[in-house]
Amino acid sequence: MSLLEVRDLHTHFIAYDLDNRLRTARALNGVSFSLEPGRILGLVGETGAGKSLTALSILGLLKPPARVVAGQAVFEGRDLLALPPEELNALRGARIGLVVQSPKTSLDPLARIGQQLVRLQRAHRPEFSAAQAEARAAEMLAAVGIPDPKRRLRAWPHELSGGMAQRVLIAMALVNEPSLLIADEPTTGLDVTVQAQILDLLRGLARQRGIGAVIITHDLGVVAHYCDEAAVMFAGQVVEHGPVSALFARPAHPYTRALIAATPERLQLRAPRPSGSPPNLYALPEGCLYRDRCPMAQDVCTRPPPDLALRDGHAARCHLAEAA
Amino acid sequence: MSDAALPAPATPAWTARAAGRLAGISRRSPTLAIGAAIILGFALLAVLAPLISPESPVASNPARVLQAPSAANWFGTDGNGMDVLSRVIHGSLYAFGIAIPVVIVGLLIGVPVGLWTGWTGGWPDEIVMRGSDALRVFPSIILALAVVAAAGPSLLNVVLVLGLLDAPVYARVVRAEVLSLRNGTFVEAAVAAGNPTRRILFRHILPNALRGATAQTAVRAAWAVRISATLAFLGVGIQPPTPEWGAMIRQGAEYMVTGEWWVAVFPGCALILLVLGLNMLGDGLADLLDPRRKAATR
Amino acid sequence: MPARAIGGFLLRRAVLLVPLLVAVSFLCFMLVRLGGQDPVAMLAGPTATAAELEMVRRNLALDQPVWAQFLVWLGKVLSGDLGRSWISNRPVLTELLDRAPATLELLLYGVGLGALVGIPVGLKAAQKPDGAFDQVSRFLSLLGFSTPTYWLALMALFVFFYLLAWAPPGMGRISLMVDPPPRITGSYLWDAMLGGQWEAARSAAAQLVLPVLCIAIISAAPIVKQTRAIALEVLASDYIRYARAQGLPAGEVRRMVLRNSMVPVVTFVGTELAGLVGTTALIEYVFAWGGIGQFGLNAIIQGDFAVVQGYVLLLALFSVLVFLVVDVLVMLLEPRAVRA
């Protein structure tokens, strides 16, 4: 059984505009992917493709006017989207850990690191004594590579560097021994050398503890180096997914090919690059959403493309995938 | 996200479009719509005062002193036998007549100063900012009262002093806006393209800076109405029997403990309502202009 | 927090305040020189004799340049000489200090009550923006914002004194039938209780109720609005979003919001306290409170400019003092301020 299976997730922004017309921005248009226990999935796409929104939808953290209008997110056999809020809240931070992209501002500025780790444990495991929780907090800080963890428990968030704060966030995400970890752009804003350390740490801890992880990134290089699986998002859909090796060896969707060609290591002068802006979410075209930007677009593309299965668990949402 | 095109319906009449926009703004910010409606109502009262008020606001009549509200005098009569309703209606003339010039004086001083200090920085900026810091240490009511009293309490002085005390507010808003725009890409581009400073300031920066000052004007107008009424209540500036709301409350104050409430209560209600409308408009504008606040569906 | 850190912090702040204090006193100094009228006549008053006029003229050092006049004036102010009131013919400083406790009492109770009501209301309103509670409290806060202080005071007198006869007439700090207690703190209520004069204490308390309620209402309005805005900002912050994403229980999140809102709220209530001195003056005026505010307003109305100058200066100093106290409080509440 999959650890997490997201099926046909639709999230819309629904609001009245200044002319009093009800407008719907269709931000997620049928996101589907699945994750096996202990595997690492890279969810990749350009800004606005709906990567973070997917995570927020699954975790029930959407704010109005955003709203999940259809779909399922089955985690350990239960549909997260159908759970009552309290039950979902009990899973978040316990069975599902989250690492976000602005670690320095995501820590409570008025609580010491140790207090925050203890608070989080006792919220989900009331049976822990304060002393037990503090001991585990120190262990966790050591596990994420923070030197002198006992002393660091007394540190205030503003005393930490960005990389250090991100390690603390990872410690918080893992302290309750989750089976799923979602890391949303975990290295944005960090120094390049620190980025690699953080990603190494994330992968190492996930492997060592058998945790399934979703790493959300706009960087294909991160997917290639740190993930087992990849899911490429465009305009609120997963347009291609599969094992990293297969996906990079034989990219089947024209968008994936354009993305790969645009990564710095492979930048070729004549390569087709993703160009143009994402489609207008208020007036999405019928059929393939990538049609307007696709160099290979044909008449058939005005019909919605199927999720075509290729070899090795690799699939692409494109009429022309087999031809590729 | 809001400027995306819908499949265009057959071009509606401009009235229908205007109605749609009005309804849209009211839905987004009912506060703004109600505030604007209240202000519009008082503006109409002010413009039509001579036509709609039943009597002259200063026609005294010793035969009907301090009469309670009745069919003849809806708001009763005051200690001089003047019709309170007529006086309340005419009071809106004074409220606008003071608030509008005060806001204009404040803008005329504050905006150029904010533009100048924000653009040049350096010691002029330092002096103006320290000066306005010092002004903010005083409670605004007391400062306004003391300066008006010192300058001599004429109507012109009231307007000049209130405008002058208001200017730092606009200067700050405009200055902050200029500072944030000065280093922006589009100003850099304009400089690189060889535009003269004056052109950049007035063509590019001023319109943006004024947007920030817009929401302030409504709130500051509310302040001007309040303070000028307070001055009149204390007998500094406008004197009875001028039909000004603050002065009317002053006249009615002594009757509040003897039971003739209508002399002070009605002008007070008018004052509250107008100030409330201006504050609601200001709040609504601030909400609407705040890019961080996105519309929520209810 | 070590006492030495607080001391050093206070010292640095005080040094930073010197230019502000100079600017503030210069404004007060200029007050009688703005309108183009003769400052001597303004300060000496209409009843002055030739000898008095001459004395005031000599004190002002009018034959010297303005900056030298300012230094002369500042020197006098620093030695406690704020001039004489031409109405009472007593030193301005004595008049003001005699009346200060009565005003301070009113201000502290009023703003204290306003904060006690306003802060929880603002926090609750922020929990469900645009919910029913929020809508109602926002409207009431706007209404309070827009109500003239003196009109509210008159309404209170009309309803509670004239109609219901629950409250005593608005004539000062204690009933005319009761002897005021001997002065210890300057507050009739406390002095009476300290002296065991229960009748006087009861009367002083009864006189306090309406003015304090009026100030509380006027001060609660901006406190509600600002607390709500602050709490909304905290609620939208990364750390609250992250706390929710970690499944912290609602109560725990609420405590976080509360703690993180406290510093800006305390700062705001401090500035309110300074700003509401004006409101308090109007309340005093209507209730004939006999504090520094009523005295100052009467001086403004009657053109007793030595008193006006001293009153305005004293208010400014009070504001500066309040800001300093707020700074210390913030420093105690806020771990980030320790290093600053």
pLDDT score of A275? 62
Q: Pick C292 or A320 by higher pLDDT.
A: C292
Instruction: Give yes or no for residue A273 having a pLDDT over 60.
Output: no
| CA atoms of B78 and B64, how far apart (whole Å) | 9
Who contacts C23 (Cβ-Cβ below 8 Å, separation ≥6)? B130, B131, B133, B134
Give the separation between CA C313 and CA C317, rounded to whole angstroms. Answer: 6
Residues 8-67 of B with CB under 8 A from A: 17, 20-25, 27-28
Chain C positions in Cβ-Cβ contact with residue A109 (cut-off 8 Å): 239, 260, 335-336
Determine whether the interchain pair C238/A110 forms a contact, defined as Cβ–Cβ distance below 8 Å. no
Chain B nearest CA to C195, separation (Å): 33
Q: What is the pLDDT of residue A281?
A: 84
Residue B275 sits at the chain C interface (C-beta within 8 Å) = yes
Phi-psi region of C105 (alpha: psi -120 to 50; beta: other; left: phi over 0): alpha
Distance CA A93, CA A125 (A): 11
Inter-chain CB proximity B24 and A23 less than 8 Å: no
Instruction: Say yes or no to pLDDT of B239 above 90.
Output: no
Whether the pLDDT of residue C165 is over 70: the answer is yes
Mean pLDDT throughout B277-285?
A: 91
Instruction: Give the pair of three-digit tokens for residue C52.
Output: 């008095």
- Please tell me if residue C340 touches chain A, with a CB cutoff of 8 Å: no
- Of A119, A152, B50, the closest CA to residue C242 belongs to A119
C261 CB within 8 Å of a chain A CB? no
Instruction: Write out chain B residues lying below 8 Å of A16, CB-based.
Output: 24, 27-28, 295, 297
Name residue C253's amino acid.
V
User: Chain B partners of A20 at a C-beta cutoff of 8 Å?
Assistant: 20-24, 27
Q: What is the architecture of the domain spanning B47-63+70-296?
A: Orthogonal Bundle (1.10)
Q: Which domains can be identified in chain A, with CATH numbers?
A: 4-95+178-323 (3.40.50.300)
- Chain C partners of A102 at a C-beta cutoff of 8 Å? 238
| Confidence class for position A260, pLDDT limits 50, 70, 90 | confident
Chain B neighbors of C319, CB-CB under 8 A: 137-139
Whether C241 sits inside 8 A of A110 (CB atoms) is: no
Q: Which helix (H) or strand (E) holds A74?
A: strand A66-75
Could you report the per-residue pLDDT of A87-117, keeping only the tens digit for each?
999 999 999 999 998 888 999 999 999 999 9
**In the predicted structure, residue A270 carries a pLDDT above the cut 60:** no
Percentage above 90 pLDDT, chain C: 45
Record: contact A123-C241, CB cut-off 8 A = no
Cα A171 to Cα A74: distance, rounded to the nearest angstrom: 25
CA distances from A319 to A7, A239, C305 (A): 20, 11, 88
Mean pLDDT of A216-243: 92
CB atoms within 10 A of CB C299: 27
pLDDT for A266 beyond 70: no
Beta carbons of A90 and C245 less than 8 Å apart: no
CA distance A40 to A38: 7
CATH architecture of C100-303: Orthogonal Bundle (1.10)
Beta-ladder partners of A14:
A24
Say yes or no: A106 contacts chain C, CB-CB below 8 A. Answer: yes
Closest CA to B174 of B197, B129, B206: B206
Residue B28: both structure tokens together: 């987004």
Instruction: Express as a percent the part of chain C with pLDDT over 70.
Output: 97
Provide the 3-class DSSP secondary structure of residue B223.
helix
What is the mean predicted confidence (pLDDT) over B9-16?
A: 69
* Chain A adjacent subunits, 3+ CB pairs under 8 A: B, C
Share above pLDDT 70 across residues of chain B, in percent, rounded to a whole number: 93
B177 contacts: CB under 8 Å, gap ≥ 6: B114, B118, B205, B208, B209, B211, B212
Q: What is the percentage of chain A residues whose pLDDT exceeds 70? A: 95
Average pLDDT, chain C: 88
Confidence at residue C93, expressed as pLDDT on a 0 to 100 scale:
92
Measured CA to CA, the distance from residue C48 to residue C39 in angstroms comes to 13
- Decide if pLDDT at B4 tops 50: no
Q: Is C64 helix (H, G, I), strand (E, B) or coil?
A: coil
Query: pLDDT at residue B11 above 80?
Result: no
Note whether B256 contacts C162, CB cutoff 8 Å. yes
> Given pLDDT bands bounded at 50, 70 and 90, which one contains residue A276?
low
Radius of gyration over every alpha carbon of chain B, rounded to an integer in angstroms:
23
Q: What is the pLDDT of residue B298?
A: 28
Whether residue B7 lies within 8 A of chain A, CB to CB, comes out as: yes
Q: Do A93 and C238 touch (CB under 8 A)?
A: no
- Please list, in sequence order, all residues whose beta carbon lies within 8 angstroms of the beta carbon of residue C340, skipping any fewer than 6 positions away: none
CB atoms within 10 A of CB B294: 14
pLDDT of A119-165, one tens digit each? Answer: 999 999 999 999 999 999 999 999 998 999 999 999 999 999 988 99
**Mean of pLDDT values over A270-290:** 73
Residue A60 to residue C114: CA distance in whole angstroms:
38
CA distance A225 to chain C (A): 27
Which of C42, C43, C146 has the highest number of chain B CBs within 10 A, making it the mutation to test binding with B? Answer: C146
Model confidence at C286: pLDDT above 70: yes
- Per CB-CB distance under 8 Å, the chain B contacts of C42 are 150
**Domain ranges (residues) in chain B:** 47-63+70-296
Task: Please give, rounded to a whole number of angstroms, the shortest distance from the CA of C144 to a CA of chain A.
Answer: 30
Residues C273-293, mean pLDDT to the nearest whole number: 91
- The confidence band for B294, taking pLDDT boundaries of 50, 70 and 90, is very low
Helix (H, G, I), strand (E, B) or coil at B218: helix
| Token pair belonging to C145 | 């914002």
Strands of A40-44's sheet in order across: A96-99, A180-184, A212-217, A40-44, A229-234, A237-243, A315-317, A307-309
Query: Residue B247 has which token pair?
Result: 């002065």
Say if the Cβ atoms of A282 and B4 lie within 8 Å: yes
Residues in chain C closer than 8 A to A111 (CB atoms): 256
pLDDT for res A33: 92
> Would you say residue B290 has pLDDT above 90?
no
Domain positions in chain C are 100-303
pLDDT tens digits for range C109-141: 999 999 999 999 999 999 888 889 999 999 999
Contact A45, A241 (CB under 8 A): no
DSSP lists the bridge partners of residue A33 as A6
Confidence band, pLDDT 50/70/90 cuts, at residue B296: very low
Instruction: Using a pLDDT cut of 90, give the percent of chain B over it.
Output: 32
User: Diameter of chain A by CA atoms?
Assistant: 67
Per the model's pLDDT, the better-predicted residue between A199 and C64 turns out to be: A199
Chain B adjacent subunits, 3+ CB pairs under 8 A: A, C
User: How confident is the model over B62-81, as pLDDT tens digits?
Assistant: 888 888 898 888 898 888 88
Residue B12 has pLDDT above 80, yes or no: no
Q: How far is B37 from chain A (nearest CA, A)?
A: 18
Taking only the tens place, the pLDDT of each residue in A15-55 is: 888 778 888 889 999 899 999 999 999 999 888 889 999 99
Phi-psi sector, C178: left (phi>0), alpha (psi -120 to 50), beta: beta
pLDDT: is B188 or A49 the higher one?
Answer: A49
C251 at the A interface (CB within 8 A)? no
Q: Mean pLDDT throughout B1-28?
A: 68
Q: Which of B152, B230, B233 sits opposite C35 (nearest CB)?
A: B152
d(CA B44, CA B46): 5
Provide mean pLDDT across the span C191-214.
88
Cα-based torsion angle of the residue sequence C86, C89, C90, C93 in order, rounded to the nearest 10 degrees = 10
State both tokens at C174: 């204690």
What is the predicted pLDDT for the residue at A265? 58
Name the neighbours of C, counting chains with at least 3 Cβ pairs within 8 A. Answer: A, B
> In 3D, which of A261, A257, A291, A293 has the Cα closest to residue A275?
A293
Q: Look at residue A98 in the predicted model and tell me its pLDDT.
A: 94
User: Which pair of structure tokens corresponds to residue A314?
Assistant: 């690799």
More confident of the two residues C91 and B192: C91
Residue identified by tokens 């001391």 is C7
Residue C142: the pLDDT is 92
User: Does C142 contact B265 at a Cβ distance shorter than 8 Å?
Assistant: no
CB contact under 8 A, B24 and A20: yes
> Residue C334: pLDDT above 60?
yes
ipTM here: 0.88
Helix, strand, coil percent values for chain C (each to nearest 5): 75, 0, 25
Residue C81 CA, distance from chain mean position: 23
pLDDT at C86: 87
